[in-house]
A = this chain, B = another copy of it.
Amino acid sequence: MKGFAMKKIGSVGWIEKEKPTIGPNDALVKPTAISPCTSDVHTIWAGAIGERTDMILGHEAVGIVEEVGELVKDFKKGDRVICAAITPDWNSIEAQGGFAMHSGGMLAGWKFSNFKDGVFAEYFHVNDADGNLALIPDEIDDVAATMVCDMMPTGFHGVELADVQYGDNVLVIGIGPVGLMAVAGATLRGAAQIYAVGSRPNCIELAKEYGATEIINYKNGSIEDQIMNLTNGKGVDKVIIAGGDNDTFATAIKVLKPGGIIGNVNYLGEGEFVKIPRIEWGVGMGHKTIAGGLMPGGRRRMEKLLGIVKAGRIDPSKLVTHKFEGFEHVEEALFLMKDKPSNLIKPIVIIK
């Protein structure tokens, strides 16, 4: 079969591979919509996860079940399904402890385009199909559904990590597609004021639509100063980090109230240390909790998020600014993600 692959660090292209074989618990899926992710870009051009050879890329796809293993109970050939970017081993110790995304080791629930071939192929392999696939309701089209593979669960997990409660004032740093979903997720957890940090016009517009009440543009001064002004010096209850770098945490600590929580879902690609300012962290005793985690995957999570979309609470398809028709356009979509034109939020490729 054909797949679009990372040939080595810095190099991509089309390759031919054997169609994956499946075990008794697994499934084979034929994608109908796929989307490249910033982490594909990190993987290829920054070498973020190390060298890979002829590894098929991609971890955001919806599709049609082609084949299932003999022990799979709930899915069959022809089902229209979603598979999360993270596909845990559900009988692992880690999953039993509530951290399925780290089954088999830290971050090891991230298998697609990391430990095995990804979804930018004619077919892709899904481990533990009963645990990792979910049916897509008829009401939800492929575009919206594809945004539920990674963007929506990652953004929403930031809200969960920050444990947003009714009436919390929340700062969301970064309003790329994940940050935008964090804004929407904070709205859907009862946040009061949502301060969103960003500067690109279409992201700002969508942030407001998803519930941001104020936009913080770094061009207007430091984030700290702007937040402290807007909150009469009180700071915010919670911070969600969906962009920036290691230094973003110092900003977050400074504007966070005692008893507050930082929920990070940003992939930190460089630098040796995240540095927490000692004084503003209450000399270790300020109850400013720092949390960060990979999004949860799995069937139940997908069903829950699709349920939110189906009920009309949110339309994640608004993230999609560039839409291609035909598998061959995946390369173009990926380079778009790399080059980030100013009007891009998220591209998608519809396959046939």
Tell me the complex Cα distance, A298–B97, Å: 10
Considering the chains assembled together, what is the distance between the CA atoms of A160 and B287 in angstroms? 12
Stoichiometry, as copies per complex, reads 4
We find that the number of chain A residues with CB closer than 8 angstroms to chain B is 90
Interface residue? A47 (CB, 8 A): no
Contact assessment for B286 and A292 in the assembled complex, using a CB-CB cutoff below 8 Å: yes
Report the minimum CB–CB distance from A108 to chain B (whole Å): 9
Cβ 8 A contact of A272, one of B90, B269, B277, B312: B277
Interface digits, A170-206 against B, CB 8 Å rule (1 contact, 0 not)? 0000000000000001011111111000000000000
Contacting pair B287 A99 (CB below 8 A): yes
B273 & A275 in contact (Cβ 8 Å cutoff): yes
Is B285 within 8 A of A265, CB to CB?
Answer: yes
A313 & B192 in contact (Cβ 8 Å cutoff)? yes
- Which residues in B have their C-beta under 8 angstroms from that of A246? 278
A96 touches B90 (CB 8 A): yes
Are the CB atoms of B102 and A259 closer together than 8 Å?
A: yes
Instruction: Tell me the nearest residue of chain B to A301, going by C-beta.
Output: B96
- Residues of A in contact with B (beta carbons under 8 Å apart): 23-25, 48, 71, 90-102, 105-107, 128, 130-131, 156, 160, 165-169, 185, 187-194, 211, 213, 241, 246, 250, 258-259, 264-278, 281-294, 298-301, 303-308, 310-313
Query: Nearest 10 A-B pairs (CB), nearest first?
Result: A167-B304, A192-B307, A91-B131, A99-B259, A102-B258, A96-B300, A287-B293, A90-B91, A273-B275, A268-B284
